Amino acid sequence: MSVEPALLAGEKAAPPPKPGLLGRLARDGGIIFGGVVILFMILLGLAAPWLGTKSPSEINPSFRNRVPGIEQTIRNDEGTTRTFTYRMGTDSLGRDIYSRVVYGARVSLIIGITVAVISIAIGLFIGLIAGYIRWVDAIVMRLMDGLMAIPAILLAIALVSLFRSGLTSVIVAIIVPEIPRVVRLVRSIVLSVREEPYVEAAICAGTPTHLLLFRHILPNTIPALIVQGTFICANAILLEAILSFLGIGIPPETPTWGNIMAEGRGLFRIYPHNIFFPGICLALTVLAVNVLGDGLRDRLDPKLARRM
Amino acid sequence: MATDAKPVLDVQGLTVRLPAGADRLNAVENVSFAVAPGEIVCVVGESGSGKSVTAHAVMGLLPPGQLTATAGRVLLEGEDLLLKSPAEMRRIRGDRISMIFQEPMTALNPVMKVGDQIAEVLDIHTRLGERERRARVLDVMQSVHLPEPERMIDVYPHQLSGGQRQRIMIAAALVLDPVLLIADEPTTALDVTTQAQILKLIKELRERRNTGVLFITHDFGVVAEIAHRVVVMQHGRVVEQGRTEDVLRRPRDDYTRMLIRSVPSLSPPAREPITAAPIVLQTNDLNKTYVSGGFFAKRREIKAVKDVNLQVRRGETLGVVGESGSGKSTVARCIARLIEPTDGAILIEGADVAKLGARALRPHRKRVQIVFQDPYRSLNPRRTVGAAITEGPVNFGMVEKEAVERARQLMRLVGLDADALSRFPHQFSGGQRQRICIARALAMEPEILVADEPVSALDVSVQAQVLELIDDVRKRFNLAVLFITHDLRVAAQVCDRIAVMHKGEVVEEGSTAAVFAAPKHAYTRALFDSAPGKNFEFGKFEV
């Protein structure tokens, strides 16, 4: 061969290096806003005991349904006094709403993140297999179609009522209706990627199926799954609040945003703060997660952005 | 043709700036040429030469904000188009200049009847009544030789063939009798027989209507077929221009010479027939039928491959030649066992692999390796080149270190730097990637190499080098090569024997020299007649 191999005539040189992934992400306003709000909520949940809160389940019968900002003088056994300010008022049992909202962030975030991670893990596994093995596909996808035919909230209510209510059963109840959506997404990506010549070349090279899936196909699903994960997370936080609001989610003594709102439902006209503060937190968190997801979608997977 | 007439299009010193951070400053630089009425000027160059940018600049279709014309003039009948406002350009486009594109599939709106798409141009630029408009559309459809225009005016694009769609595009472009027609690779996506018809049509139309044609192409066969004058571009500059005869026969520039010399000749070189070597690959009545439909849809059968019998001997290259949809790629994929044939036998050194299951097939996998058409999709973008080449041998139990050593040798063998193993595919050009794919195939020490259009996506100068490499490894490893191609020129150069496929069947088979000298089947003859530039011997320069 007479031509200098490193640079063949008439061919394009490699494009100049692009800025790093983090650099690209930091340029998106949505990602910054969403990230900051979520980070704030996580810190809020983690640092709850040190943020001027008292026990979220402490009942104070003499101090019920008070407006935000009211102060109470508490006398200790030693005879000294201190004042405690109810920044968001108290509910109909005299519990501090501020403390309950701050502690409630824990449950919401735990549910959002666990549901997203677990449903994506399960959905990814099923989706990879369904997308690659035809006979599994036929069976699994009919099952998934069946699951998708039932509204998520109904399915969740049915599942919660099967078990004793509690954090775990709520998480399971939200994961189950989310799985089919992940499976469909993963399967569609697998179906298109398995036609790529580099996958066929790997088949010719005798790559065993599990390695083929893991090495050549799975990495293609990651960007879409990160994006889908944020939407599942937001959806799960909302669904938990709905279940708690309906009184079938987390037991009422545990503070969750949904529980606090359920609690305040009866006296909403007179004491709106009971619903207002947890409602604001819920709306802000869900908005932040969705905006983050939108930003990630645009940055990580431009093709997906055009499709959705 | 009146060459001394006032030119319709006169491009003078056109320079288009690329956005910051690109690999060069200007997409096109100081480009000047002219198109006279009734003249076909071909702008020819490889990918990245700036030929399409030139066409888009003339059309006023440069993507705003990314590419801007910074110098020069584009004179259409004396008026500088670069000074026109977007509204003025809109009036000029479609009326006085029009353009046809490469992909007739995507250039037409799939949910609009083709007649309406032609009429749309009339709607925008004229005030014709319903009846008059329909008459004009029928008239122009007639002139591009669409059969039964009365019926065809009311069909949707998906009901038409590729060639018919391109005719609709041309009809829409010509309905207002523009003075200039810009054709950007209009036949590249078409089969060779369709291409010949479209080229004939363009020639005929410019004669009849005296339209100037600016024709963008990468194919010197097409240039020889239709161009009056040629503009050769490289890296955004015009390296040579002149009358077609002069440029093709007496090129002055080294790059032009290199390009023309790279065009494979249609006359096959003399080859020793291989008769003594053992048969490595044989197919007996190979069939592949695709069945679509299911529970609800109607069952439909498509016979992609019908009773194909092929034989390849050790050290021999068998070319499978055909147009799109002829089933040639399906044959290749059956032999590589990427799909299971419906019927028939595939004998690899006597062992039938046609019906083996995944497990039983595994030992045979090594023996057949495949190189694909698209070098940009044949390598996993997330894995290094080294990982790609060593994957196969490691799968079959080779120690990692030994596999890497083998990969280094193979990289040198295919003409690449052995240290490049740790790089990722996007750091290589198309031709280099195709070399890597060949190295990956060779790493398995196969007996049969299936090359499925391995050079179709490459520029002509790179094409010649990759073909040379494939021939080189065939000799070196005594491989049986099954070479799938639609390009007769390529087939003529590399194949010992060729099999011509048409609608899933092998219609003719024989030694390359014999088939090219005296094609027997009517379809083979039609294929050969359609080859662009068939009467022109490229690379025989006069001094």
DSSP string, B66-111: T-EEEEEEEEETTEEGGGS-HHHHHHHBTTTEEEE-S-HHHHS-TT
Is the ipTM of this structure higher than 0.90?
Answer: no
CA B512 to chain centre: 22
The pLDDT, as a whole number, for residue B426 is: 87
Secondary structure of B401-442 in the HEC alphabet? HHHHHHHHHHHHHCCCCHHHHHCCHHHCCHHHHHHHHHHHHH
Residue of A3, A12, A205 with shortest CB distance to B429: A12
Residue of A nearest to B451 (CA): A201
Residue B484 has φ and ψ, to the nearest 5°, of -95, 130
For residue B401, what are the contacts with CB-CB under 8 A and spacing of at least 6? none
DSSP-derived 3-state class of residue B400? helix
The pLDDT, as a whole number, for residue A308 is: 43
pLDDT per residue over A83-95, tens digit each? 777 778 888 788 8
CB-CB under 8 Å, B395 with A8: no
* More confident: B506 or A56: B506
Residue of B392, B416, B461 with shortest CB distance to A206: B392
CA pair distance A168, B207, nearest whole angstrom? 80
Mean predicted confidence (pLDDT) in A137-150: 90
Residue B121 has φ and ψ, to the nearest 5°, of -60, -40
Task: Establish if A204 touches chain B: CB-CB under 8 angstroms.
Answer: yes
CA pair distance A246, A64, nearest whole angstrom? 23
CA distances from B381 to A196, A297, B7, B323, B339 (A): 11, 20, 48, 30, 24
pLDDT band at A23 (very low <50, low <70, confident <90, very high): low
Q: Write out chain B's pLDDT in tens, 543 residues.
A: 444 568 999 999 999 988 877 778 888 999 999 999 999 999 998 888 888 899 999 988 888 878 888 889 999 998 899 998 888 998 898 889 999 888 767 788 888 999 998 898 888 888 888 889 899 899 889 888 888 888 888 889 888 888 888 889 888 888 888 999 999 988 887 888 888 888 988 888 888 888 999 999 988 889 998 999 999 999 999 999 999 989 999 999 999 999 998 888 888 888 888 888 899 999 999 999 988 766 666 777 888 899 999 999 999 999 999 888 888 989 999 999 998 999 999 999 888 988 888 888 888 888 999 999 888 889 998 889 999 999 999 999 889 999 999 999 999 999 899 888 999 998 888 889 999 999 999 999 999 999 999 988 888 888 888 999 999 999 999 999 999 999 888 999 999 999 999 989 999 999 999 999 999 999 999 988 888 888 888 877 876
Residue B307 has φ and ψ, to the nearest 5°, of 40, 60
Mean predicted confidence (pLDDT) in A262-289: 87
Task: Establish if B447 touches chain A: CB-CB under 8 angstroms.
Answer: no
CB-CB under 8 Å, A196 with B365: no
Task: Establish if A149 touches chain B: CB-CB under 8 angstroms.
Answer: no
CB-CB under 8 Å, B382 with A1: no
Give the ranges where A150-217 is alpha helix by DSSP (H): 152-162, 167-193, 197-204, 209-211
The pLDDT, as a whole number, for residue A8 is: 39
Task: Establish if A72 touches chain B: CB-CB under 8 angstroms.
Answer: no
CB-CB under 8 Å, A8 with B432: yes
Closest CA to A279 of A120, A123, A101: A101
User: B36 CA to chain A: closest CA distance, Å?
Assistant: 30
The pLDDT, as a whole number, for residue A26 is: 67
User: Using an 8 Å Cβ cutoff, are B75 and B250 in contact?
Assistant: no
Q: Which residues of B touch A208 (CB under 8 A)?
A: 395
Closest CA to B71 of B208, B200, B236, B206: B236
- Helices then strands (H, E): number in chain B? 20, 20
Closest CA to A199 of B410, B448, B421, B338: B338
Lookup: tokens for B486: 């639609």
Task: Establish if A10 touches chain B: CB-CB under 8 angstroms.
Answer: yes
Q: Give residue for tokens 């044939």.
A: B341
pLDDT tops 90 at residue A6? no
Q: Which letter, b or e, does each residue of A258-272 get, where b requires 16 or more Cβ atoms within 10 Å of its Cβ?
A: bbbbbbbeeeeeebe
Q: Give residue for tokens 């944020």.
A: A230
Task: Establish if A19 touches chain B: CB-CB under 8 angstroms.
Answer: no
For residue A168, what are the contacts with CB-CB under 8 A and spacing of at least 6? none
Give the ranges where B175-239 is alpha helix by DSSP (H): 192-209, 220-226
Lookup: tokens for A295: 């930003």
What dihedral angle (degrees, nearest 10) is formed by the CA atoms of B102, B104, B109, B112?
Answer: 150
Task: Establish if B432 touches chain A: CB-CB under 8 angstroms.
Answer: yes
The pLDDT, as a whole number, for residue B543 is: 66
Between positions 369 and 388 of B, the ones with CB within 8 A of A are 369-370, 372-374, 377-380, 382-383, 388
Average pLDDT, chain A: 83
* More confident: B519 or A65: B519
Task: Establish if A216 touches chain B: CB-CB under 8 angstroms.
Answer: yes
Task: Establish if B471 touches chain A: CB-CB under 8 angstroms.
Answer: no
CB-CB under 8 Å, A208 with B444: no
pLDDT band at A301 (very low <50, low <70, confident <90, very high): low
pTM: 0.81
